[in-house]
């Protein structure tokens, strides 16, 4: 596993220098700017936000092997950012793949985490169980398609202008706006950037699976939206079993998978309430 120095990750910081830090972890196929609509509410309340472009998304932090994108490596990057930019402890918020990183971070490094807020994606064990017990496996077809080297690249590659029309169309079908879909597709005009992002999926099957994570002991908020076509309601049903600390579930109605940008005000209200209730 390649170790990444936190200093080579592109990180956006905002808010007062002495504010309690909030680490914001983006998902696929986005970047730190996916939090831009939420950040003002957090900084306005006195928090300092720390939002990295994660491994593979930061151009200088783009190792080539799929094993370099195993979840433990991604969590190690988050720990490094917390130590480097957040004084060793932060509220942690993750969406999509960022939520997967946040779940493991809170489970295995609770000393670094004041609170956890996970959006859309349940913890790894709950997700894996849903694949064999619910229709989640049908919603996760793309996960299998992404495993074949070169196949997804050929289908999604940005080769017909500043962004790929195929990639944009796929994001539009998932509920993303046209402007944001084009923005996210354009991130992968560099083929190496697309392969690195896909390696987050491929890293899951690189090497032997490790032990199941312990229950998360820190205060946890899990937010799911009923317009999510990637994560089914059934996949969220057992999340509470993976949290031993205070736990709250919130559901957003009429919102797609892209919660931070589609419902930033609702999310910010939930976040600020959660952080205020559990200052850590």
Dihedral angle at the C-alpha atoms of 250, 256, 257, 262, nearest 10 degrees? -90
CA dist 138 and 131 (Å) reads: 8
Check: CB of residue 24 under 8 Å from CB of residue 32: yes
The residues annotated as belonging to the active site are 96, 257
Nearest to 96 by CA among 28, 12, 169: 28
Task: List the 48-52 sheet strands across, edge first.
Answer: 11-14, 48-52, 21-25, 90-95, 113-119, 220-227, 247-256
DSSP class of residue 219 equals -
- Cα 28–chain centre separation: 7
CA 97 → CA 15, 20, 104, 239, distances in Å? 25, 24, 11, 16
């Amino acid at each position: 596993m390649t170790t990444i120095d936190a200093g080579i990750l592109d990180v956006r910081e905002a808010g007062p220098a002495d504010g309690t830090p909030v680490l914001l972890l983006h998902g696929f196929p986005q970047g730190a700017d996916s939090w831009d609509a939420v950040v003002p509410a957090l900084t306005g309340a006195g928090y300092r936000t720390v939002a990295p472009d994660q491994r593979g998304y930061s151009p200088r932090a783009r190792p080539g092997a799929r094993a370099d994108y195993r979840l433990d490596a991604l969590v190690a990057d988050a720990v490094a950012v917390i130590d480097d930019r957040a004084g060793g402890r932060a509220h942690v918020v993750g969406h999509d793949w960022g939520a997967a990183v946040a779940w493991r971070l809170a489970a295995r490094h609770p000393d670094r985490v004041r609170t956890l807020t996970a959006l859309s994606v349940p913890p790894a064990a709950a997700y894996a169980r849903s694949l064999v017990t619910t229709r989640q496996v049908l919603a996760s077809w793309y996960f299998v398609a992404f495993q074949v080297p070169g196949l997804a690249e050929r289908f999604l590659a940005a080769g017909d202008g500043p962004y790929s029309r195929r990639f944009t169309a796929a994001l539009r079908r998932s509920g993303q706006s046209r402007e944001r879909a084009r923005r996210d597709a354009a991130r992968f005009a560099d083929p190496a950037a697309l392969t690195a992002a896909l390696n987050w999926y491929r890293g899951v099957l690189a090497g032997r699976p490790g032990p199941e994570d312990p229950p998360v002991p820190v205060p946890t908020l899990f937010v799911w939206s009923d317009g999510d076509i990637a994560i089914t309601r059934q996949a969220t049903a057992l999340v509470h079993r993976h949290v031993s600390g205070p736990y709250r579930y919130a559901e957003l109605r009429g919102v797609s998978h892209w919660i931070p940008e589609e419902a930033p005000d609702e999310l910010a209200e939930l976040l600020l309430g959660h952080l205020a209730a559990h200052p850590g």
